[in-house]
Chains A and B, each alone.
Chain A
Amino acid sequence: MLLRSLTAQTPSRIPLLRPFSTGSGWRTCKNFLSDSPARRPRLYPVGTARHCSSDSDMATKHLDDSHERIFENNRKWVEAMKAEDPEFFVKLGSGQSPEYLYIGCSDSRVPANQIMGLGPGEVFTTRNIANLVPNTDLSVMSVINYAVRHLKVKHIVVCGHYGCGGVKSAMISADLGLLNPWLRNIRDVYRLHEDELDSIPEPQRYDRLVELNVIEQCRNVIKTAAVQQSYEKEGFPVVHGWVFDLNDGLLKDLKVDFEKMLKGIKKLYNLSAAPPTAEEPSASEPLAKRQREE
């Protein structure tokens, strides 16, 4: 698998990220390794560019240096893609059908596409502080709804990362104003696993809290009606929990047992019945009736 990824991709997978960045598209590894540095757009070393006398000086310098090469790369890429599939850009412009929904942290060090090695069009993404899925947050609930019901994604990934600033901030005994209500979700995760976490020394305790937070957010994803109904009907999406390690760039699969988790959740959070149609009585009526009978 890995070997195939590195060397023997179907040719059409190779150039996706090529023109945009020298370092972001691992998928172009083969090309990178065979590229002479001179062929790549030159990067200004960190620090030097910031010391240019003004932004416009720097911009002019930058444009002079890199403008042509970048557009040349872009033109080549367009030609390569079109040679394989004349309709490539027409299709890209006409719609998306990603296989993945990625729910991750806003942290700048964890760019979804790069760490997964996937190109434009392949991952529907939402990112927020500490990759949370609070059940009353309409933003993330809308994302899940759209991804599952309309895009029909096959996999939902909740991805946390060690050294998460949000998770650390949440455990500080301080009033953080607007961040309080958001970060409180993490304190709730701690409370759910208090005994286990209390028994672990710092800093490992934070690493475990990051993992448990991912697992709890997976639970929250599975609690949604969209996921339960789609899985019952179609057999997807499957929910996964990952943690990204900044120290080596590797993803750790927490091996969330989706089936088991789903079964456990349905005991209390079963929303898999379809919503009542217009002809049927209102949603509250059967419940009221049932309660009367009880």
Chain B
Amino acid sequence: MSSNGERGRRAELCGSDEHPHPRPHHKQQSRPEANAIAIPTAENDQFAYALSSNEAWAGYKNHQNPTFFPKLAAGQSPSILWLGCSDSRVPETTLLGLQPGDVFVHRNIANVISPTDINSSAVIEYAVAHLKVSHIVLCGHTCCGGAAAALGDSRVGGVLDTWLTPLKAIRRDHAEELAAIKDAGDRAIRLAELNVEKGVQNLLANYVVEEHIRTRNIKVHGVVYDIASGKIRDLRVGNASVMPGAGKEMAAPSKMEVLQGNHGVLIFKEGGSAMTVG
């Protein structure tokens, strides 16, 4: 989405010194000579770093709790299905303060939930019907490149324009409201919110989700994650704020929603704020 204004300019910073995160001493790979093996082997390489990171993490987890991995291997029973954006700044277990085994995850560009997308549909079916999750959290976020691209007028290229068509459609449906927002960043946030709202509607209309709301009262949540502050905002667009079967708002004193992972808790509070506990 490099052709789209501010976001594009940011994307082009890739590989420059202006990186938001410090990295392991990364040596830029140069174009390989003919027949040269390009697989990085240097010990200061990113790839080697990730693998050794894993070794350290596994060793630490095992040291902390020797039954941790054997238990994991026995099976999963996550209570949350997380549908989020592929964006590297929104790692779900980190920002939810949850552990391996807690949350079943699907992430795609701009957290688009289209009724006919076989990829997300298969994930939803598997999580809801087979793993029997209790909560579905659809999470959009601020500074979303997909939203910014959909607000631009140039072609992104490749298959991306097709993928982002649902966002373009939302933009058209809400053209007046979006045009009235002066700040480009705020406009992208509003589009991200509308996209979550639309995705939640599609989830509620999904046959399997509908059936399991009826039989098990599963909850669908729509939230937006603010990258610059780390906070999750509940858009209250799902069925979570509605009493089971009653079709009306919950009584004021208990306007609080708790998502219980096996190791941590996510709490939705009145006023749209939320917090994470590790």
B202 interface contact, C-beta 8 A: no
What's the Cα separation between A10 and B26 when bound, in Å? Answer: 13
**Which of A120-128, A188-196, A205-213, A214-222 sits within the interface?**
A120-128
- Which residues in A have their C-beta under 8 angstroms from that of B61? 23, 26, 249
Partner among A16, A99, A140 whose Cβ is within 8 Å of the Cβ of B119: A140
Partner among A20, A55, A62, A95 whose Cβ is within 8 Å of the Cβ of B254: A55
Contact yes or no, A126 B86, CB < 8 A: yes
B 124-135 to A, binary, CB cutoff 8 A, 1 in contact else 0: 011100100000
What's the Cα separation between A107 and B24 when bound, in Å? Answer: 28
Contact yes or no, A235 B32, CB < 8 A: yes
Q: How far is the CB of B202 from chain A (nearest CB, A)?
A: 14
Contact yes or no, A226 B94, CB < 8 A: no
Known: A114-B93, A253-B51, A258-B39. A2 touches B56 (CB 8 A): yes
What's the Cα separation between A225 and B36 when bound, in Å? Answer: 21
Q: How far is the CB of B59 from chain A (nearest CB, A)?
A: 8
Contact yes or no, A246 B158, CB < 8 A: no
What's the Cα separation between A236 and B51 when bound, in Å? Answer: 19
- Which residues in A have their C-beta under 8 angstroms from that of B94? 17, 20-21, 24-25, 113-114, 119-120
Contact yes or no, B76 A109, CB < 8 A: yes
Contact yes or no, A235 B30, CB < 8 A: yes
Contact yes or no, B159 A145, CB < 8 A: yes
B181 interface contact, C-beta 8 A: no
A56 interface contact, C-beta 8 A: yes
- Which residues in B have their C-beta under 8 angstroms from that of A122? 21, 23, 88
What residues of chain B have their CB less than 8 Å away from a CB belonging to chain A?
A: 1-2, 7, 10-11, 13-16, 18-24, 26, 29-32, 35-40, 43-44, 46-58, 60-62, 64, 68-70, 72-73, 76, 78, 86-95, 97-109, 117-123, 125-127, 130, 142-143, 145, 157-160, 162-163, 208, 227-228, 230, 253-254, 256-258, 260, 262-265, 267, 269, 275-278
